[in-house]
Each structure stands twice: as C-alpha cells, then as structure tokens.
Amino acid sequence: MKLNETHDPALHSWVASANIADTDFPIQNLPFAVFRRSHCDEEFRIGTAIGDQVLDLAALHSKALFTGKTSLALVACQTGQLNDLMSLGFTYWNSLRQDLSISLRTGAALQSEIQTCLIPMDEVEYALPAQIGDYTDFYTSIYHATNVGKQFRPDNPLLPNYQWVPIGYHGRSSSIGVSGQTFNRPCGQTRLPPATEPSFGPAKKMDYELEVGIFVGAGNALGDAIAIDDADKHVFGLCLFNDWSARDIQAWEYQPLGPFLSKNFASTVSPWIVTLEALVPFNTPWTREDDHPQPLAYLESDKNRKSGGLDISLEVAISTAKMQDSNEQAECLATTNFRHSYWTIAQMLAHHTVNGCNLRPGDLLGSGTQSGPEANEAGSMLELSQGGQQPITLKNGEKRSFLEDGDTVIMRGYCAKQGAKRIGFGEVTGTLLPAKI
C-alpha cells in the first residue's frame, strides 16, 4: 500500500459536507459500514461515508456504472455484511476505492447518477459491519500493561514474556455489538479483601477499555503463516473498539488462564471501518528502545521499522445519567495515541498466525487498551482512578471510581497531520444498565 491520488489533500467532492475542514469523512477517507434507514424494515446493506451522507452501494451497483474489479467488488456489497468484500483482497478494495474517489470528486461525470444513491447520515441506523467469526484481544500498550500490573501484581507488574511476545487471548464474538449498544451490569464471582471466600453478585468495578479494532480481510490457509511484510494485505480496516471490563471479576478469575466472565458480556465497535489504505499518510516509524529485547526474526523487518506504526489520536468521554438529564455535554476523561503501541498491527498478525492459525474474513483483533506514558493518557478508568483509590471528580461535581449504572461512554478517533487530509473514525458509544437480579 502506497500513497496515491486518492490521498491528495487537494481533492474536493461535489458532496459539499465532505469538504468541511473537521469532517470525519472527507473524500480521502471513504470508510465502509452496514446500514439501513432508521425506523423501517429495510434490509441492512453496505454503504460508504462521504461527508454527512451515506452512499448506498447496493443502489449504486444496480446502476451498472462500473466494470472490472470495481463491478465485482460492488457485487460483493449486495449483502448485509462486509465479509464477501473483505474476502476479495486488496486489489478489489483498491479498485473500488479508486473509482468511488473519482466518481465523488468535484466535476465528476457520474454525479447526477450517484446523487440519487445518497442518504443523509442522520437518517440511518447501523448493524455490525461483519459477521465476526473469531475475536482475539491483544495487550499492546506497555504503559497499560505496567499500570495494571502494578495494581494486580505489585511485586511483578510486567511479566518477562511481555517484551518478547504480542500477548493476546481469544474472546467471545457473540456479545460484540455496534455503537449504541446497551448492556446490563454483569454478575459473577468476586473476592475482595479482607474476605477469604468469594461471593456472587453484580460487578462493582465496571470499566471501559479504549482500543482500536482491526478487521481481517483476506484470510490465510490453515497451516500457513502470514509474513510480517504481507500483513497489510490481510487487514481490511480499523475501527474504534470498547472492550468493557468487570475489574473485580477479572481480579478473581484471571489467573491462571486470563480473562473470562470479566470480558465476555459486551464489547462495542464503531460502525465505520476505515480502510488501511486510507490511513497510509499516517504510517509512522516503529522503534524498540535499545535497552529492551529486540523482536525475534519473524516479528522484525525493515518495512515494519519504517512504517509499521500509526498516528491515530484517541479520546474517551463520559456522559452520566445526571449529565444527560441536565443536557450537559459529555466530559473528556483522557486522550492518547495509537503510536504508543508496543507492538504493531503487522506484528500482531504475524504472531497470531506463526503457528499456522487460520484467520478468516471478518475476524476481529482488539489492540488492547491504549494508554500513553502520561497519567492523563490512560485508556481505562482502572488507571485513571488508581484502582478506585483516587476517584475522578467530574466538572458537575459527580465522582467516579468506576462506571455507574446509566453512564454512557463515548470514544472518538482521528488522524491529522500537516500535508494530509484529516481522517476520522466517527465514534463508538455504549451505555451501562443495571444488573438483572
């Protein structure tokens, strides 16, 4: 994947809202989602975001305006999930992106034909963008791993394998929902000091995790590994991801096999998947400090060193029930950046498949909680409140050690730099409801 004409920051669209300076969805973005008009029984279908509009790709296909790989890619967009398009591979995604870009530019010959396929974004609702067969959650922020380790294992916060292995665990895909997801506070076993035996009941330490979601495109055959320099051919795109956590359940269950009930009750993805190609202008060098272990050969390459990182600004905000009742704006809790990640996306895929594990179109990888080196860059409330020992005071006077019933968490992300058009991810929201007792 290289810079090409679709990344040109000078490009403008005949969709006026796509030319606004701070839009998430300029013509240089063109992300994908599964949508339908709100409050109707239409079938869900695939669309592309352009400004404040959704381009209905099913309607576009019916006009038979394109040939070749773009036409075949539009055929794959006739379903209510992105899996078929994901499975086609990069050359088809690239062809579709190129022709959509040309057709949406100012002065495009196809404007009058395509205009009829636009639907205002505020008139649609979303479904999960893909059938997620498998979900793996990684642990790629060394700052988060160290912060959490200090609370769970004060004498040994960072386990020795962390700096050698992109740590991950297999999560539950059935409880992943799209932005706007509501879920009940989970119940489970907890044991809080000074108790010597566990008790059962609703989790008391509910938390969010600010993550980036990585959707697999073309998969690999069982037994075949994905080489680190081929990883970008197997990633369809990225989204925002909130991996909700019950910290008190987690503390009791996580040894010896890791998270279980503390994580599998809900996770939430943003509806729009930003393609890896759209993010090429924001690739950054990746480094490993000289005094840290250097990656083994299968996790190392010049390409990964040169451009394996990604500069994605991330933020998390909270809107409490009281704030909603008073029509107050959500309050930002933390900001950070994906470039702080200890392991790259390519390293995650290379490690995931080095044993022959087969990934399939629509599989989801979570980056793990993204925290930066500063205290205000923490990607979880567990870190911000020091395990609940230092409650956060919000501007309206409310305090939070962990999430309370009725709290809505909002996460946003975007890429921006001099000489490139700002690319946004939209947002992902989710709301915690009372436990079912």
**Cis ω for the linkage preceding 160 (within 30 of 0):** no
* Contact in structure between 242 and 265 (CB atoms under 8 Å): no
Please give the pLDDT value at position 254. Answer: 87
pLDDT, tens only, 348-385:
999 999 999 999 999 999 999 999 999 999 999 999 99
Calpha distance 86→132 (Å, rounded): 12
54 and 47 in contact (C-beta within 8 Å)? yes
* Strand (E) or helix (H) holding 236: strand 235-242
Question: In this structure, are 369 and 299 located in the same domain?
Answer: yes
Q: DSSP secondary structure string, 296-321?
A: PGGG--HHHHHH-EE--EEEEEEE-H
- Last-in-domain residue among 104, 127, 150: 127
Q: What is the per-residue pLDDT for 149?
A: 87
- Indicate if 39 and 155 belong to the same structural domain: no
When the pLDDT of each residue in the chain is averaged and rounded to a whole number, the result is: 96
* Averaged pLDDT, 255-263: 91
Global pTM exceeds 0.85: yes
> How many domains, the chain?
2
Q: Kindly state whether residues 196 and 82 are assigned to the same domain.
A: no
Helix (H) and strand (E) counts for the chain?
11, 26
Contacting residues for 203 by C-beta, under 8 A, at least 6 apart: 185, 186, 187, 188, 190, 246, 247, 248, 249, 262, 435
For the segment 380-401, the average pLDDT, to the nearest whole number, is: 96
Residue 39 is a catalytic residue: no
Percent of the chain with pLDDT over 90: 95
DSSP summary character for residue 330: P
The Cα-based distances of 434 to 124, 201, 268 in angstroms read 28, 12, 18
For residues 264 and 312, membership in a common domain is answered with: yes
Mean pLDDT, residues 120-143 taken together: 97
In tens, the pLDDT along 320-350 reads: 999 999 999 999 999 999 999 999 999 999 9
Taking 90 as the threshold, does the pLDDT of residue 1 lie above it? no
CA dihedral 168, 338, 182, 385 (to 10 degrees): 90
The CA-atom distances, in angstroms, between 420 and each of 7, 8, 17, 19 are 7, 7, 18, 13
CATH number of the domain that residue 63 is part of? 2.30.30.230
**CATH number assigned to the domain comprising residue 350:** 3.90.850.10
**Which of 18-32, 83-97, 249-263 has the lowest average pLDDT?**
249-263
Whether residues 117 and 226 fall in one domain: no
Which of these is catalytic: 7, 39, 61, 144?
Answer: 144
Token reading at 75: 């055929």
Q: How many CB atoms lie within 10 A of CB 373?
A: 11
Mean pLDDT of 421-432: 98
pLDDT of res. 65: 97
Reference 355, options 130, 145, 136; nearest CA is 136
- Looking at the chain, the whole-number percentage of residues with pLDDT higher than 70 is 100
pLDDT at residue 213 in the model: 98
Q: Which residues lie across from 269 on neighbouring strands?
A: 178, 241
Q: What is the pLDDT of residue 163?
A: 96
Dig out the tokens for 46 from the structure: 């695939």
Structural domain boundaries, residue 427: 135-433
SS3 content of the chain, % helix, strand, coil (to 5): 30, 25, 45
| pLDDT, mean of residues 196-217 | 97
What span, in angstroms and rounded, lies between the C-alpha atoms of 110 and 103? 6
pLDDT of residue 349: 98
Q: Are residues 84 and 183 in the same domain?
A: no
| Same domain assignment for residues 104 and 239 | no
Q: Return d(Cα 124, Cα 45) in angstroms, integer.
A: 11
Residue at which a domain ends, from 127, 153, 174:
127
Residues 123 and 159 occupy one common structural domain: no
267-305 pLDDT, tens digit each: 999 999 999 999 999 999 999 999 999 999 999 999 999
pLDDT band, very low/low/confident/very high, at 396 (cuts 50, 70, 90): very high
Can you tell me the mean pLDDT for 109-117?
97
Q: Residues near 327 by Cβ (< 8 Å), separated by ≥ 6?
A: none
Distance from C-alpha of 302 to C-alpha of 295, rounded to nearest angstrom:
12
Q: What is the mean pLDDT of residues 427-431?
A: 98
Do both 185 and 91 map to the same domain?
no
The average pLDDT across 106-121 equals 97
Q: Are residues 102 and 156 in the same domain?
A: no
pLDDT at 114 over 90: yes
Burial of 71 from C-beta contacts in 10 A (0-12 / 13-18 / 19+) = middle
Please tell me whether residues 371 and 352 are part of one structural domain: yes
Same domain, 365 and 307: yes
Domain limit, last residue, from 127, 146, 173: 127
| Mean local confidence (pLDDT), 85-110 | 98
The structure tokens 């943003």 sit at 270
